[in-house]
Structure 1
C-alpha cells in the first residue's frame, strides 16, 4: 500500500563539488613537488627566501589595492552626496571603475602570499594590467552567460525563479498589509506604539 506522497529525489551533486576538492589536492601536490625540485636545485634557503619575498610582495599589493578600493569608494560616495545636494540624481560608476579590476589585484596579492611557486607565478601574472583586464572581461562574460542561462530577464527574475523552485516548499508572491498599522509618518514628539499588544 502506497501513501501517495511523491518519491523524493536526491539532488545531483554539482560538478564544482566533485572537481574542486580534486583540483585543490592536485594543486597542493604540484606545489610541494615543485618546492622540492627547486630546493634540490638551488637550496632550501633560496626556497625560503622566495617564499618570504612572495609573502611580503603579496601583503604590499593587498594593502595598496585595499587603500585604492577605499579611496574609490569614498570618492564615489562624495560625488553622490554632491549630486544629491545639487538636486541631481547620482550617477552609477562609469566604465573606469569596471576597468580598474581592483579585486583581481587583491587576488594576485593573496596568491603571492600563499606559500608555493605556482601560486606566486599566477599572482605575478595578475599584477600585469593587460592580463588583469583580460581575466576581468572573461569573468564578466562568464557571469553574464551563467545569469542568462539561469533565467531570462533581470537579476531579480533569476532570484525570484530560484525562490519559487526551492524544494522545501511553495512560495506565494504577495504583500502583507496591516490594517492596524498607523497611517503616514509619525510626528516628532509623539510616543511610538508598543511593539507587542
Structure 2
C-alpha cells in the first residue's frame, strides 16, 4: 500500500515539474524561432509517465518509469520520427505520381455556347 501511495505521489510531482519545465523550454525555443517539437514530445512522454505512475498497479508503474527514463524517451522519439518520415515519404510518393491527372492551366476552356432556344414544329 505504501508503494502505491509513493508511486502516486511521485507521479504527481513528475507531472507538475515536467509540465512547467516543458512549457519553459518550449517558450525559449519559440523565442529563438525554433519549432519546439522535440521538447513537446519529451513533455508529453513525461506527462504520460506521470499519469501511469498515478494509476495503481505494478505494470502501469513499470511503464510509467520507462516513460520517465531519458534513454527510453530518446528511443521512442527516434522511432516515432522514423515512422513519421516514412509516412511522409509514402504520402509524397502518391502525391507526385507521374500519371496523376493535373488540371491544365493554359487558358483553354471547354467549347460551351450559352443561350436559349425555342422548338418550332411544322
TM bracket, shorter-chain basis: 0.5 to 0.7
C-alpha distance in 1, partners of 2:67/2:38? 16
Structure 1 alignment gaps of length 5 or more:
1-47, 80-90, 158-197
CA positional deviation for 1:58: 0.8
C-alpha distance in 1, partners of 2:56/2:15? 16
Aligned with 1:118 (options 33, 38, 59): 59
Q: TM-score, normalised by structure 2?
A: 0.63
4+ runs of 1 displaced by more than 6 Å?
Answer: none
C-alpha distance in 2, partners of 1:70/1:55? 23
Question: In the comparison of the two structures, how many residue pairs are matched?
Answer: 93
C-alpha distance in 2, partners of 1:57/1:109? 7
Is the Cα–Cα contact under 8 Å of residues 104 and 136 in structure 1 kept in the other structure? no
Question: What is the aligned partner in structure 1 of residue 19 from structure 2?
Answer: 66
Is the Cα–Cα contact under 8 Å of residues 112 and 124 in structure 1 kept in the other structure? yes
Q: TM-score, normalised by structure 1?
A: 0.41
Question: What is the aligned partner in structure 2 of residue 75 from structure 1?
Answer: 28
Structure 2 alignment gaps of length 5 or more:
96-122
Which entry has the higher C-alpha Rg, 1 or 2? 2
C-alpha distance in 2, partners of 1:128/1:77? 26
RMSD: 2.4
CA positional deviation for 1:77: 4.1
